[in-house]
Chain A
Amino acid sequence: MALRARDIVNHDATLIGRKAWTDPHIYELEKRGIFAKSWLFLAHESQLPNPGDFVQAYMCETPVIVVRGADREIHANINSCTHRGLPVCRADHGNATKFVCPYHNWTYSVEGELLAIPQEKHLQSKADKGPLGLKPVPRVESWNGMYFGSFDPEIEPLDAYLGDQRWYLDAFFQRFPSGVEFVGSPQRWIINANWKLPVENQIGDVNHGPFLHSAVIPPEANREVFELGRSAVTIPGHGATFRLMPEGTPVEHVAWGFEGMSALLAPEIHDYLREIHAHAEERVGPIRARMKGLTYGVFPNLSFLWSNTAFKVSHPRGPGRVEYWCWSVVPADAPDEFKKILRGNHTTLFGPGGIIEQEDSEAWSQQYVGSRIDFADDRPYYYGLGLGEEKFHPDLPGLVSVTANEFYARHFFLRWRDALEKVED
């Protein structure tokens, strides 16, 4: 008999069975119950300034072309030819006037309509091209320049889906007078791990830092997280962690810490950063001006590593494999030379070349190995740390606690369990 979600996640999600990360049937339920029914991040508008600009994206395992059409709107279509299924675009990014499938050269507009079937020259009958375009992603919406797609035509609007998570995201986005820009292509890093572990790591697990990363993260930086770190959950499945610096903290201490290593090593940009943070209060208000971000998660698989200014998506590739995409993000109005320095805040410490994340990627792989072993299914993982210690906060939306409280993960898995139960036979 197939495993059921409620056999894996107990009533209050303090115990999670190992099969959550390894079982192929559960993985299929995740596709139907979560990836078919959520808003999934596609691209940022800064990647697509001109008509014809496109980037590749994935929605779970499904390849999607995201393009700015001649109508200047953003379109998202599945990258698979209606004739025999080949991808019609093989590049990561670029500017195109049309997409031509390599196999028999069916030709599509960048917006996805089928324009030409070359074989028809030699045939009497003509196919009705109307329904033969690339399959569009039925819902595409944006918030703050971030485009999301959903395979569920009935899904709630993106604004409602993000809810109060927007308040936390805006603490970053609105900090910069001209917003932010995504730099280049995402780093695409394939890791032998389940997609949920990088996600859980970013929704709220900053508490592994002083332990897993003790070879690199200095004790003062860890102390700051222990003493000033907060974890917030607005809607289950989303999460935000940050340090709430005390009132009167000098802007320097909000503007950069150890995590901003490349910025730290480049005194020429310090005035620029100081200026941004000195005016943060006017843009995001007094509370959020004191927020010094750590990590965020948006259900199901978008992460934001504010401390190192990177967005990430954990694309599943089966239960034991993930394609982890990470984009560096910089202030849009920074001079080009500063952008080049600031992108290093991400790449030096995180991503496939990062000094810190090389520990995480191995931890995630080993968690998959540990979840797959035999004779241990009666030892589900303990997710009960800090149970019930989260409280509403006068100034911060959602439930709030210290970062050691694993409530963010319990909320994620309760939402995960409910989503799977809806599609179980």
Chain B
Amino acid sequence: MSGVTPELQHRVEQWYYREARLLDGRQYETWLALCDPTIRYIVPARGNPLVDNKQQGTEAMISVERELEGVDSDRLPIRDETLPHLMMRMQRAYKPNSWSENPPARTRRIVGNVEIVEATEAQLSVLSNFHLHYARPGSATFFYAGQRRDVLHTRDDHGDYRILRREVVLDMSEIEFPTVGIFF
């Protein structure tokens, strides 16, 4: 995308690395400060609709979009959340009786393919991919892969980015995770 300078690309990437470090370091409260008060946090479901024969021979026939059951569809997304929901998740994480994550899960994520697809004075639209390792002591280890489709405020009062919207496209066939309720 034109208008994306190497400096901007660098700044955005560094911001994502810091975000990943906060999440893997379980600093959810600090992370939550990176979310805009009007944040929309979405995880679409991933369906297997019947192929449309009329789209044969085109990219549209097998597009990822037609598999997504997101917030604008009349189907059933996995998560459709706002700041109060995320706060509730954060508060839960800091209680000893959040049993499934006591002891807490160990996560490590690699964020890459950071692509700024739209940049205006006020907002950035950024795509990024992630691989996320999630190990739950006494239980098992899981691997999540997906894409994040973010809209970021270009800066808050401290010159930082804020997440306005995050849509997490997970690449699973069945949901074989103990939870899809984590912060991606």
Contact = CB atoms under 8 A, between A and B. Distances in A.
A362 B49 contact: no
Contact of A91 (B50, B97, B136, B177): B50
Q: Which 6 A-B pairs have the closest CB atoms?
A: A94-B50, A184-B75, A362-B100, A184-B76, A91-B50, A358-B179
Given A183-B75, A190-B175, A352-B181, 16 more contacts: A91-B50, A96-B50, A184-B69, A186-B76, A187-B76, A191-B178, A212-B99, A215-B99, A265-B82, A339-B74, A343-B76, A352-B177, A355-B89, A358-B101, A359-B98, A366-B139
A373 to B, nearest CB: 13
B97 A214 contact: yes
Contacts of B97: 214-215
Interface residues of B, number: 42
Interface residues of A, number: 46
Contacts of A323: 174
Given A214-B97, A359-B100, A95 B50 contact: yes
B100 A327 contact: no
Interface in A226-277: 261-262, 265
A363 B100 CA distance: 8
Contacts of A365: 139, 178
A352 B179 contact: yes
Contact of A362 (B71, B178, B180): B178
Contact of A185 (B47, B138, B139, B178): B47
A382 interface: no
B78 A355 contact: no
B99 A359 contact: yes
A385 B116 CA distance: 59
Interface in B36-53: 43, 45, 47-51
A200 B176 CA distance: 22
Contacts of B180: 352-353
Contacts of B56: none
A354 B85 CA distance: 10
Residue from A92, A261, A336, A358 with most neighbouring chain B CB atoms (10 Å): A358
Contacts of B160: none
Contacts, number: 121
A4 to B, nearest CB: 33
A155 B78 CA distance: 37
Interface in B88-126: 88-89, 92, 95, 97-101
A347 B82 CA distance: 13
Interface in A86-107: 90-96
Chain A contact residues: helix, strand, loop or mixed: mixed
Contact of A188 (B89, B140, B174, B181): B174
Give the interface centre of B43, B69, B74, B178 by most chain A CB atoms within 10 Å: B178
A185 B69 contact: yes
Given A348-B85, A358-B179, A365-B139, A93 B50 contact: yes
Interface string A364-405: 011000000000000000000000000000000000000000
Interface in A175-197: 183-192
Interface in B164-178: 174-178
Contacts of A95: 50
Given A185-B69, A359-B98, A93 B49 contact: yes
25 contacts: A92-B47, A93-B49, A93-B50, A183-B74, A183-B75, A183-B76, A184-B69, A184-B75, A189-B174, A189-B175, A190-B174, A215-B95, A215-B98, A215-B99, A344-B80, A348-B80, A352-B180, A354-B181, A355-B92, A358-B178, A359-B98, A362-B178, A365-B139, A365-B178, A366-B139
Contacts of A184: 45, 47, 69, 73-76
Contact of B75 (A185, A216, A359): A185
B146 interface: no
A351 B49 contact: no
A361 B76 contact: no
